[in-house]
């Protein structure tokens, strides 16, 4: 089954860049424009990974991250937080709240795709089949 990644960013350009960067890895992409939409989408779709910006209107990324980790259904979904340079407090909070990784913007498409693949693999259980 194709794995799904939820991308959360209020800035349309960043959303598109992140989407294109990850789509090439063969993932199905879901998008949300703020933390509140992200919570709804994550609970409904249970994606394999969430890539979320910190600064967003309505509900920021750190609040959304804390709520995702507090809900049993979504607590296991790994989250990569996107921080701008100079947001060291946000980075520390993200780490404390259980983010799998933070990336500083701007990031290259290949770096994001490689990190997404690594984080998803690390979050998966081992193979279950015996098939040769």
The binding site for other proteins (CB under 8 A) comprises 12-13, 16-17, 20-21, 23-24, 106, 108-111, 114, 127-132
Query: Least distance to other proteins from the beta carbon of 94, Å?
Result: 17
Q: Kindly give the pairing relationship between strand 79-84 and strand 101-105.
A: parallel
Angle between helix 109-123 and 12-23 (nearest 10): 60
Instruction: For other proteins, give the closer residue by CB, 110 or 123.
Output: 110
The span from the CA of 81 to the CA of 71, in Å, is 18
Instruction: For other proteins, give the closer residue by CB, 42 or 100.
Output: 100
Q: Nearest Cα to 79, choosing from 70, 69, 87?
A: 69
Query: Least distance to other proteins from the beta carbon of 54, Å?
Result: 19
Query: Least distance to other proteins from the beta carbon of 108, Å?
Result: 4
């Amino acid at each position: 089954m194709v794995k799904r990644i939820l991308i959360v960013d209020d800035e349309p350009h960043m959303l598109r860049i992140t989407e294109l960067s990850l789509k090439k890895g063969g993932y199905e992409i879901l998008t949300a424009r703020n933390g509140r939409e992200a919570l709804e989408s994550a609970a409904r779709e249970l994606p394999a990974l969430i890539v979320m910006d910190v600064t967003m209107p309505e509900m920021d990324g750190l609040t959304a991250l804390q709520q995702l980790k507090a809900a049993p259904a979504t607590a296991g979904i790994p989250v990569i937080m996107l921080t701008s340079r100079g947001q060291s407090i946000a980075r520390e909070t993200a780490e404390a709240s259980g983010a799998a990784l933070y990336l500083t913007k701007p990031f290259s498409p290949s770096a994001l795709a490689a990190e997404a693949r690594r984080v998803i693999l690390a979050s998966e259980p081992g193979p279950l089949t015996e098939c040769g």
